[in-house]
Amino acid sequence: MIYLDAAATLPVRREALEAAWPYLTGTFGNPSSHHAVGEAAAAGLEDARRRAAAVLGARRSDIVFTAGGTEAANLAIKGLALASPRGKHLVTSPLEHEAVLESVDFLRRVHGFSVTVVDPGTDGVITPAALGDALREDTTLVSLAAANNEIGAVSDVAALAAVAHDAGALFHTDAVQAAGWIDLRGLGADALTLAGHKIGAPKGTGLAMIRGRLPIEPLVHGGGQEGGRRSGTENVAFAVALAVALELAEAEREEKAARIAPLRDLLLEAAERAGAVLTGPREARLPGHASFLVPGRSGESVLLDLERRGVVASSGSACAAGSDEPSHVLTALGIDREAAQTAVRLTLPGDLTAAQAEQAVGALAAVLGEG
């Protein structure tokens, strides 16, 4: 089997499991306990926090460990917006992950925030000029992804964050898909969120990087763990696993991107030769992301035929799998509902070999040729 659904999830790395194991066994203490067993666990947790912060160019105190990217996004968006005295206006795009869109909508419905949605253009790349047009004097928070999970579009987060800051607004970026593919240091975001299972940590791991002790309203109240920003006994083992996976992803990032991008291009070229239509940008695209429409074919039928030939892929976000509705990302780009149902997304893991890519190209050419 050739796995081309890395944007959905990846296997847990052995290094992450081995680093986590001691905190599930001998060093099992509650990190809030004031005795040797608890203090050993607390030391492991703080070391994980330090290591994650180093990868992100942040301070140790900026890191909040969560139970995944969805929780992290909810915490950053709701927490920063509700704690800010600046105003009740939010800016986002129609291309964001459901965790972002639903958090923003919650603030609109329940807390009376107004929302401006930035026009993403036809390629899904939000420009600083488009963001500038959406900002107001009372904008408190902007939330735009560093990279899109369905079309692979990569944003210039540093430029977007600078525009938001010039207007006095905070900036959050969902970096779930960007982690391990682009440099997450120096982006200038006030908050950054990611999920561990996209980079080789266990599912149910994530973090929110929230800079400089910005005021934040916690979502989970209780004993005041994580600096009062997320109560509940910390999952030390998974925090350690996430930090290790993040370090490894960063260490391998440049080599991986340089090796995988040409393999992605082989797949895109094969698809386009067979009449497929690229979705998202051609240049500002994640190195491992190939997405396209297959006119006249159901995307799901293409995926089934690929799986019969040993290639596993998807039509888009795993969070929307099984829905009869077309992708909200594709329809926001002006693609009609019928065409959006023909979408195919091939996302390459970092360990994909050239031989496997060639096999996948052959399978793709055969499947699309049969259409």
Last residue of a domain, one of 218, 248, 278: 248
Would you place residue 370 in the very low, low, confident or very high pLDDT band (cuts 50, 70, 90)? Answer: low
**Residue 322: is its pLDDT beyond 60?**
no
Q: How far apart (Å, rounded) are the C-alpha atoms in residues 309 and 176?
A: 30
b/e 273-305 (16+ beta carbons within 10 angstroms → b)? ebebebbbbeeebbbbbbbbbbeebebeebbeb
My answer on whether 172 and 221 are in the same domain is yes
Look at residue 326 in the predicted model and tell me its pLDDT.
85
pLDDT at 195 over 80: yes
Judged against a pLDDT cut of 80, whether residue 320 lies above it is answered with: no
What is the widest separation between alpha-carbon atoms in the chain?
67
Please indicate, yes or no, whether residues 286 and 239 belong to a single structural domain of this protein.
no
| pLDDT at 139 (0 to 100) | 98
Examine the domain organization and report whether 30 and 137 are in the same domain: yes
Domain boundary among 204, 233, 248: 248
By DSSP bridging, strand 191-195 and strand 277-278 are unpaired
Q: What is the mean pLDDT of residues 31-44?
A: 96
Q: Which domain holds residue 87?
A: 14-248
pLDDT of residue 319: 54
- Name the H helices within 200-281: 236-273
Strand, coil or helix: 153: strand
Q: Kindly state the DSSP code that residue 213 receives in the 8-state scheme.
A: G
Q: What is the pLDDT of residues 124-138, one digit of tens each?
A: 999 999 999 999 999
Q: What is the mean pLDDT of residues 156-178?
A: 98
**How many domains does one find in the chain?**
2
Quick one: pLDDT band at residue 371, thresholds 50, 70, 90?
low
Instruction: Give the pLDDT confidence score for residue 213 in this predicted structure.
Output: 84
Q: At residue 301, what is the residue type?
A: S
Residue 140 has pLDDT above 60, yes or no: yes
pLDDT at 211 over 60: yes
pLDDT tens across 217-250, in order? 999 999 999 999 999 999 999 999 999 999 999 9
Do 65 and 102 belong to one domain?
yes
Indicate whether 300 and 340 sit together in one domain. yes
Query: Does residue 25 have a pLDDT over 80?
Result: yes
**CATH number for the domain including 263?**
3.90.1150.10
Does 29 share its domain with 60? yes
Q: Are residues 237 and 267 in the same domain?
A: no
pLDDT of 153 = 97
Domain boundary among 248, 283, 310: 248
- What's the CATH number where 53 sits? 3.40.640.10
Q: Which residues are catalytic?
A: 319
Return the structure tokens found at 137.
């004097």
Q: What is the pLDDT of residue 324?
A: 67
Based on the fold, state whether residues 312 and 356 are members of the same structural domain.
Answer: yes
**Do 182 and 300 sit in the same domain of this protein?**
no
Residues of the chain above pLDDT 90, percent: 94
Rounded to the nearest 10 degrees, what angle do helices 236-273 and 36-56 cross at?
30
Q: Say if residue 182 is in the same domain as residue 297.
A: no
The two three-digit tokens of residue 91, written as one number: 């800016």
Do 196 and 275 belong to one domain? no
Is 227 found in the same domain as 79? yes
Which pLDDT value is given to residue 317?
58
Angle (CA) 293 294 300, round 5°: 95
User: How much is the average pLDDT of 11-38?
Assistant: 96
Question: What per-residue confidence (pLDDT) applies to 315?
Answer: 86
pLDDT at position 318 is 53
pLDDT band of 253, cuts 50, 70, 90 = very high
d(CA 213, CA 62): 7
Residue 325's pLDDT is: 79
Structure tokens at 195: 């999920």
SS3 content of the chain, % helix, strand, coil (to 5): 45, 15, 40
Contacts of 25 (CB under 8 A, 6+ apart): none
